Amino acid sequence: MTSERPGPRPTPRLARAEAPAEPRSGLERETQVRQLFSEIAPRYDLLNHLLSLNVDRRWRRRAVATLGWEERPAGRYLDACAGTFDLSLELARRPRFAGQVVASDFALPMLEAGLPKLTGASVNPVCGDALRLPFAGDTFAGAMVGFGVRNLAELERGLAELHRVLAAGGRLVVLDFTTPPTRLLRAAYLFYFHRVLPRLGRWVSGHPWAYSYLPASVQEFPAPAALAERMRAAGFTEARWTLLSGGIAALHVARK
């Protein structure tokens, strides 16, 4: 039995979904990160591909390939911290995918910058916070986060929210930067990250500190083994990871 894919869809409108208000911790960092991504949104895609020499496209393909969406091709999947939808579209445009991607991000200008890319794609954007996901529990067949977990003001809370909204058996895929383990590559990587990237990012984006924040956030982020342990502490099982491009990035996969 085969299912026919729907025809081209119009560019969707943003849905504003807010969870109930509650006391917040880490508010200063949360506000800062939202401001940062809101301000760099117009040139975010250009800088992403330029500063990674386009290798980020290959990483996203790997992330979607590990999601296990083929088990439920008509399911509903979450792309949290979705930005301008590159990861969402990587899944939605797979030939056999017949489901829906819900793309959530708390920086509205990022979502608005990516809207023109969504014409014809089964991607529904929602302006929502990953620390307070505006979805019921057990909603999604799988979830992805591309370069967003590192920016959460409260990592444990964000992982707990992702666990909550996943259905039993669903996979969580987390793609993010890390520090290469080998000395030579690590030295070259750190030189680029701390000396080249901030200057180039500042020149292209016009933002005075956004691309100084990036290397600082990677340096503070848990190493792959430590992140896997935090995923297990949030209730996930089978948490494992693979280093990409010599350890410039890490791809984590866990299951609820």
Contact 232/149 with Cβ under 8 angstroms?
Answer: no
Best CA proximity match to 78, nearest among 105, 97, 58, 60: 105
Report the predicted TM-score, pTM, of the whole model to 2 decimal places.
Answer: 0.87
The domain total for the chain is 1
Q: What is the DSSP string of 136-197?
A: -TT-EEEEEEES-GGG-SSHHHHHHHHHHHEEEEEEEEEEEE---SSHHHHHHHHHIIIIIH
Each residue's pLDDT tens digit, 60-84? 999 999 999 999 999 999 999 999 9
For 4, 33, 106, 155, 216, the CA distances from 213, given in Å and listed in that order, are 45, 9, 18, 17, 5
Each residue's pLDDT tens digit, 24-56? 335 678 888 898 899 999 888 887 777 677 899
- Structural domain includes residue 89: yes
Q: What is the dihedral of CA 58, 74, 139, 41, to 10 degrees?
A: 40
- Structural domain includes residue 217: no
Helices (H), 16-122: 27-40, 44-51, 55-65, 86-92, 108-114
- Structural domain includes residue 185: no
* pLDDT the model gives residue 9: 55
Query: What is the amino acid identity at position 116?
Result: P
- Residue-number span of the structural domain to which 227 is assigned: 25-178+223-255
Q: What is the mean pLDDT of residues 17-26?
A: 37
* pLDDT the model gives residue 136: 98
- Structural domain includes residue 167: yes
- Structural domain includes residue 192: no
Least confident of 21-25, 65-69, 147-151: 21-25
- Structural domain includes residue 196: no
Query: What is the amino acid identity at position 170?
Result: G
- Structural domain includes residue 70: yes
* pLDDT the model gives residue 5: 47
* pLDDT the model gives residue 21: 32
Best CA proximity match to 173, nearest among 202, 196, 151, 142: 142
Least confident of 46-50, 92-96, 101-105, 234-238: 46-50
- Domain harbouring 97, CATH code: 3.40.50.150
- Structural domain includes residue 119: yes
% of the chain residues with pLDDT over 90: 68
